[in-house]
């Protein structure tokens, strides 16, 4: 399908990778493919206990003295399929195709895994080539980046010689990433006491917020549906009439929530009062958020969904007012959004928090916050602040899923070499920046602090979705850049 595309070898390997199912957690076959490649080409390799594969190739003549270069990508992909497309992503290869306008490669009905199959394809093409000039090369293929960066976390420093690290897991050609945020999840649990009351159920909801990635879109001034719901409820000022069965919202701690809801129990008098309070609060609040969130809506409707808190129809276990107040206090005070901008590079998000999920599990309300920062101490401070607020509001704070950031190095010979090569190949200035999201480089530098790393790659759009597509011309330009960069790094021995 892709044989006509240039560079030939890169697309050949990419297509071979696409024929192998390799969603996160399902890396057995792709790992065997990489080992098979090494054997076939007579290259030394290491298969690490966690599943990472490292393949080595010697320097080309004249480049023996240059420091070894690591080309790194992750083996796994986010494997998603459109409903009814008939693909079993755990067993089937992808139907790779070229878009009608000839500009993009995509997979019919599924994600493509250009993130990060293209990194492996570039790496294999370098390893297989006999006409390139380069220092000693190691292709490091890590497992399960998309589900917690397990491969980078468990990589053994002694298995890798190179300390100049090309991470090919970025999707924006012309942008060189030279740092990334670290993160942690702060869990706040509030136990609630319940009373039994009788009445009907009303659902109060906030819907239609734009959402987005909790890191890269945290500075876009989007509303957080969970916090907006808390604001709406507080603005309604219903006092003891507010008797919720549950509060829920958001799906992932690393996504800005688009909707949230609370289901409450009311008698006839309370229903009247609550409807009035809702209308009043809606009139006050909605205009203030419409500019920011054009599709946001507040909903008040009857519901029959009592879930686990229904004793029988008309009789429910509700949170008592004091319990509700402490959860609302927390949601109204917890920081959301950007809390600091960076000084170097200037003007990027440095520290932020997203309140991603609220769930009611039995007699506990749990809130997950995703803290990110370029600066380790700021990440810790913001996590501590949320933990302190949790305990002041009567809850219990826990921290998990912590990963280190990748701090911008003022001096980086690798970055300089890339920028010079970029100028030469493109005849223009690249953008050098840091990203407010996690990359494997943070964990790698934690294992090997002396590592000089950069991250780049060709244009890929809508990654992690069935609309994922990779720009063909960009793949070729990025290959040319990679080839020239390796040449430069070999010469400068």
Which among 71, 233, 65, 46 has a CA at the least distance from the CA of 138?
A: 71
Does 345 sit behind a cis peptide bond, omega within 30 degrees of 0 on the bond before it? yes
Number of neighbouring beta carbons within 10 Å of residue 70: 23
Report residue 234 as tokens. 């507080």
- Looking at residue 308, the DSSP 8-state letter turns out to be G
Residue among 76 and 446 whose Cβ is closer to Zn ion: 76
* Residue 79 beta carbon to Zn ion: minimum distance, rounded to whole angstroms: 13
- Distance (Å, rounded) from C-alpha 317 to C-alpha 196? 5
CA triple 414-420-423, angle to 5 deg:
140
Active site residue: 15, 48, 116, 145, which one? 145
Residue among 264, 151, 159, 258 at smallest CA distance from 213: 258
Task: List, in sequence order, the alpha helices (H) in 221-350.
Answer: 225-236, 268-290, 321-333
Task: Kindly tell me which of 74 and 222 has the beta carbon lying closer to Zn ion.
Answer: 74
Residue number with CB closer to Zn ion (229 or 443)? 443
Which residues make Cβ contacts (< 8 Å) with residue 185, sequence separation at least 6? 253, 368, 369, 370, 371, 399, 400, 401, 402
> What's the CA gap between 276 and 267, in Å, rounded?
14
Tokens matching residue 108: 């019919």
Cα–Cα distance for residue pair 139/127, rounded to 1 Å: 8
What is the smallest separation between the CB atom of 118 and Zn ion, expressed in angstroms? 10
| Minimum distance of Zn ion from residue 115's CB (angstroms) | 4
Q: How far is the CB of 78 from Zn ion (least distance, A)?
A: 8
Q: Indicate the residue among 115 and 368 with the shorter CB distance to Zn ion.
A: 115
Which residues of the chain form contacts with Zn ion (CB under 5 A)? 115-116, 169
Pairing of strands 69-74, 164-167: parallel
Provide the residue count of the chain: 493
37 secondary structure, DSSP code: H
Torsion-angle region of residue 201: left (phi > 0), alpha (psi -120 to 50) or beta?
A: beta
Catalytic site residue from 76, 116, 171, 452: 76
Residue number, 169 or 329, with CB nearest to Zn ion: 169
Compute the least distance from the CB of residue 107 to Zn ion, in Å. 16
Nearer to Zn ion, 169 or 173 (CB): 169
Is the CB of 176 or the CB of 389 nearer to Zn ion? 176
CB-nearer residue toward Zn ion: 190 or 403: 403
Smallest distance, Zn ion to C-beta of residue 9, A = 22
Residues 52 and 140 sit within 8 Å (Cβ to Cβ): yes
Sheet of 96-98, strand order = 96-98, 104-107, 469-471, 460-461
Helix (H) or strand (E) holding 364: strand 364-373
Residues 221, 227, 231, CA angle at the centre, nearest 5°?
Answer: 110
Identify whether 145 is a catalytic site residue.
Answer: yes
What is the phi/psi pair of residue 395, to 5°? -100, 180
In angstroms, what is the minimal distance from the CB of 469 to Zn ion? Answer: 15
Which C-beta is closer to Zn ion: that of 114 or that of 404?
114
Q: Which two tokens stand for residue 483?
A: 């080839």
Cα 209 to Cα 17, 171, 231: the distances in Å are 37, 26, 15
Rounded to whole angstroms, the Cα distance separating 367 from 253 reads 9
Catalytic residues: 76, 145
């Amino acid at each position: 399908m892709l044989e006509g595309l240039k560079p030939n070898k890169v697309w050949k390997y990419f297509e071979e990778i696409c024929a192998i199912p390799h969603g996160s957690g399902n890396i057995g076959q792709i790992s065997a493919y990489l080992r098979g490649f090494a054997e076939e080409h007579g290259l030394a390799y290491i298969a690490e206990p966690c599943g990472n594969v490292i393949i080595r190739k010697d320097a080309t003549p004249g480049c023996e003295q240059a420091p070894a270069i690591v080309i790194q990508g992750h083996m796994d992909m986010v494997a998603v399929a459109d409903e009814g497309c008939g693909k079993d992503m755990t067993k089937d290869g992808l139907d790779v195709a070229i878009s009608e306008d000839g500009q993009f490669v995509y997979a019919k009905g599924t994600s493509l895994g250009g993130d990060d199959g293209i990194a492996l394809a570039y790496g294999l093409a370098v390893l297989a080539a006999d006409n390139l000039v380069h220092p000693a090369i190691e292709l490091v293929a890590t497992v399960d980046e998309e589900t917690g960066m397990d491969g980078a976390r468990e990589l053994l420093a002694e298995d890798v010689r190179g300390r100049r690290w090309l991470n090919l897991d970025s999707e924006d050609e012309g942008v060189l990433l030279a740092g990334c945020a670290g993160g942690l999840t702060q869990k706040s649990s509030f136990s609630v006491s319940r009373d039994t009351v009788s009445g009907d159920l009303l659902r109060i909801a906030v819907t239609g917020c734009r959402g987005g990635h909790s890191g890269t879109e945290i500075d876009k001034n989007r509303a957080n549906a969970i916090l907006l719901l808390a604001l709406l409820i507080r603005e309604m000022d219903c006092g003891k009439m507010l008797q919720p069965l549950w509060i829920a919202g958001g799906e992932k701690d690393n996504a800005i929530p688009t909707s949230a809801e609370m289901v409450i129990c009311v008698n006839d008098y309370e229903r009247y009062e609550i409807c009035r309070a809702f209308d009043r609060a809606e009139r006050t609040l909605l205009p203030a958020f419409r500019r920011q969130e054009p599709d946001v809506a507040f909903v008040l409707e009857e519901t029959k969904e009592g879930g686990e808190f229904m004793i029988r129809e008309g009789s429910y276990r509700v949170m008592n007012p004091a319990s509700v107040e402490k959860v609302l206090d927390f949601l109204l005070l917890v920081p959301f959004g950007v809390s600091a901008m960076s000084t170097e590079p200037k003007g990027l998000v440095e520290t932020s928090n997203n309140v991603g999920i609220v769930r009611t599990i039995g007699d506990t309300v749990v809130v997950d916050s995703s803290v990110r920062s370029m600066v380790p101490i700021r990440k810790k401070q913001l996590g501590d602040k949320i933990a302190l607020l949790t305990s002041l509001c009567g809850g219990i704070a826990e921290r998990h899923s912590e990963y280190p950031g990748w701090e911008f190095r003022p001096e980086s010979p690798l970055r300089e070499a890339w920028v010079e090569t970029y100028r030469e190949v493109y005849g223009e200035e690249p953008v050098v920046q840091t990203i407010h999201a996690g990359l494997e480089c943070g964990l790698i530098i934690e294992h090997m602090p002396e590592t000089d790393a950069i991250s780049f790659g060709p244009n890929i759009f809508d990654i992690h979705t069935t609309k994922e597509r990779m720009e063909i011309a960009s793949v070729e330009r990025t290959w040319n850049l990679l080839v020239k960069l390796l040449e430069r790094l070999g010469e400068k021995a």
